[in-house]
Amino acid sequence: MASANRRGLAGLFFLCDATVMRSRIVLQILLAALALPVHHVTAQQQVQRNVETKTCENLPHTSLPGGHITSAQAVAAGRFVQPGLKPDEKPPAVYAATPAFCRVTATLTPTPDSDIKIEVWMPLAGWNGKFRGQGNGGFAGYIDYKALASAVIDGDASGATDTGHATTDAAWALGHPEKIVDYGYRAIHEMTVQARSIVQAFYGSAPTRSYFASCSNGGRQALMEAQRFPSDYDGILAGAPANNWTPMLAAGLHAVQVLDGPGYIPGAKVPAIARAVVAACDAKDGVSDGVLNDPPQCHFDPQVVLQEEGKTRSAFRFRLLPYCTSGRLPQSYLCRSSRRLRPSHLPRLPAGGRGWPWRLGYMGLRYRAG
């Protein structure tokens, strides 16, 4: 009996010793682990690891609902070459400042008649987590490469679209109602959704913030996004929006009718008019600085303008676009019950980079030698 007890006690001590031994081993492992330096992986580091493991060239295998990726390639810093650039055309300086980025092209077909081209540019390093959507001017029909370049320089991923056609006129619209819808609002929305999915596929995480900024027709696109798809962007900048198209294009047609006839003002005469406007009204705002603070308050009579030196010193006459309130053309289709449907052009606007010369060419009116 005593012998059996001794064997039992010996077994118990053995079990206790084994348990203590295992505990000591576990404790040593824990202490060793605690002694190792701890590396915290930041979100930016994780994004960079994702980029390193998933190359740009692998993105064509990414599935796009209602479309497909046509190409994906890494572009070295400052090496982007704009498609369609003419041999004698100097590339914009902004391209030389671009960092290395992944350039993705895709075609989206939300309808059988849709042919929406998009591009997505993503910095290969230093992505700030943001996405910037780009717009178009006029009738679109192009990719805004300069805007894409500016975005990646700022560290943004960025997307742009031609809105579904490849010409800057409106010939594509006749007989293609779905293309009109694409141009009107659908292409920008589709580009935004698909571009963000491409960004997530490349970086392994979705953009933390998305913004849209554009001007003119791009401002109209911005308003359409805000109205129809408010969840697409966290912030929208709608610059000089060309919205409310019916009165706007009617006003443009009227401008052509007025200016492309007896009232046409040749570009050569614009500097003389500008000097006379500035001389008559510059000081009205209290500062003589060559800038009119409030052009509508400049009551300038163009009849007193003389032609350039060396030419006959006789006043040349021209008609200005009428105001609805002026009573000159009360039956004008631009006016309704003496209410202005469109803001008037500024006939007292001085010449400048985007001044009279641009407005005299409004809606395609060509310059002719004066």
Q: Is residue 282 part of a domain?
A: yes
Same domain, 329 and 360: yes
Q: How far is CA 110 from the centre of its chain?
A: 21
pLDDT, average across residues 115-121: 98
Same domain, 202 and 266: no
Residue 111 vs residues 108, 165, 188: alpha-carbon distances, Å? 9, 14, 15
DSSP letters spanning 174-238: TT-HHHHHIIIIIHHHHHHHHHHHHHHHHHSS--SEEEEEEETHHHHHHHHHHHH-TTS-SEEEE
**Is residue 162 a contact partner of residue 141, using CB atoms and an 8 Å limit?**
yes
Q: Is residue 168 part of a domain?
A: yes
Q: Domain total for the chain?
A: 2
Mark which of 218, 243, 268 sits at the end of a domain: 243
CA distance 75 to 157: 14
Same domain, 198 and 50: yes
Residue 99 lies in domain: 46-243
Which amino acid appears at position 117 of this protein?
A: K
Q: Is residue 24 part of a domain?
A: no
CA distance 355 to 268: 14
pLDDT, average across residues 101-114: 97
Taking only the tens place, the pLDDT of each residue in 21-74 is: 554 544 454 445 445 444 444 555 555 555 555 689 889 888 899 999 999 999
Asked if pLDDT for residue 288 goes beyond 50, the answer is yes
**Is residue 124 a contact partner of residue 52, using CB atoms and an 8 Å limit?**
no
Same domain, 292 and 171: no
CATH number at residue 121: 3.40.50
Same domain, 280 and 171: no
Please name which of 269, 265, 277 lies closest in space to residue 308, comparing C-alpha atoms.
Answer: 269
Same domain, 351 and 322: yes
Q: Is residue 104 part of a domain?
A: yes
Mark which of 226, 243, 260 sits at the end of a domain: 243
pLDDT at position 102: 96
Same domain, 251 and 226: no
Taking only the tens place, the pLDDT of each residue in 312-334 is: 444 344 444 443 444 444 334 34
Same domain, 111 and 163: yes
C-alpha dihedral sign at 68, 70, 74, 77: negative
Q: Is residue 226 part of a domain?
A: yes
Taking only the tens place, the pLDDT of each residue in 185-206 is: 999 999 999 999 999 999 999 9
Same domain, 221 and 294: no
pLDDT at position 84: 87
Which of 290 and 231 is assigned the larger pLDDT?
231
Asked if pLDDT for residue 348 goes beyond 50, the answer is no
CA distance 341 to 354: 23
Specify the pTM.
Answer: 0.69
Mark which of 222, 243, 264 sits at the end of a domain: 243
Q: Is residue 22 part of a domain?
A: no
Beta bridge partners of 213: 134, 237
Asked if pLDDT for residue 302 goes beyond 90, the answer is no
Question: Confidence band (pLDDT; 50, 70, 90) for 285?
Answer: confident
Same domain, 202 and 316: no
Q: Is residue 101 part of a domain?
A: yes
pLDDT, average across residues 143-155: 97
What single DSSP character describes residue 64?
B
If DSSP codes are grouped into helix, strand and coil, which group holds residue 84? Answer: coil
Q: Is residue 370 part of a domain?
A: no
Same domain, 199 and 339: no
CA distance 316 to 272: 11
Q: Which residues contact 32 (CB under 8 A, 6 or more apart)?
A: none
What count of residues does the chain have? 370
